A = this chain, B = another copy of it.
Amino acid sequence: MATDEHIHQQILNAIVEHQLPPGARLPEDRLSEAFGVSRTGIRKVLQRLSLEHFVVIEKNKGAHVNRPSESEALEVLDSRILIEPQLIPALITHWNPEQSSRFRLMTKEEKQAEANGQLAEAIQLTARFHYELAHLSGNKVLASFVEQLCYRSSLILAAYGTRGSVGCECGDHAQLLDILDSGSAEDAQHWMSHHLKHIRSSLILESKEDTNIDFQRLFSR
């Protein structure tokens, strides 16, 4: 059975897992036959994905996977830097051993996926770690916005990411859990801020501009 929600999740996964790279075309009839529904259902999903900034729909040209601009990439990270640390005080009031072990399991799976080279899994888990923390704050409005930002970040890393975007000298996500267990909201805020700023600064923003490629310079010798 192919419900709207299901189709949406499938395509979104493919995008954030870099199966569908930035710029990839998403023809309606191809997708409709792939999912076994009519174009109507596909259009609805594509419409939604475009409002969520995962695809771009150009009139009479169809849907492409969004290729985030430099400014968009930075703004998404800046938004996270502004919001996620601020959620710590609220989430720490809901913090308990049960949550702690739940998140520790996630970081374990995360490391494993990374070690086994399961890129798609690793990306999903990294994003999930962040937005599930956000949901713990109790504010669903902010949490779902953060969730969207996390998914967008995955897409951004597909366009501008380096190997450094994954690792971080501040340690992995497990370290944040230690801090949360210790109960220091302030430390956790600092860690989160630092972590996100590290990701932001790891983006390489000059090279991958493929609009206006200077073919002259590229192929002349």
Contacts of A83 in B (CB 8 A): 82-83
Chain A residues 136-166 with CB under 8 Å of chain B are 139-142, 145, 149
Question: How often does this chain occur in the complex, in copies?
Answer: 2
Indicate whether A187 reaches chain B with its CB closer than 8 angstroms: no
Interface of A is mostly: helix
Contacts of A51 in B (CB 8 A): 48, 51-52
Indicate whether A185 reaches chain B with its CB closer than 8 angstroms: no
**Cα A139 to Cα B79 with chains together (Å):** 8
Contacts of A141 in B (CB 8 A): 72, 75-76, 78-79, 149
In chain B, what residue has the closest Cβ to A86? B82
Contacts of A145 in B (CB 8 A): 79, 145
A118 to B: closest C-beta gap in Å: 30
Contacts of A82 in B (CB 8 A): 83, 86, 142
The 9 closest A-B pairs by CB, nearest first: A75-B141, A75-B139, A79-B142, A79-B141, A82-B86, A76-B141, A51-B51, A78-B139, A75-B140
Q: Which A residues have a C-beta under 8 Å from some C-beta of B?
A: 44, 47-48, 51-52, 71-72, 75-76, 78-79, 82-83, 86, 139-142, 145, 149
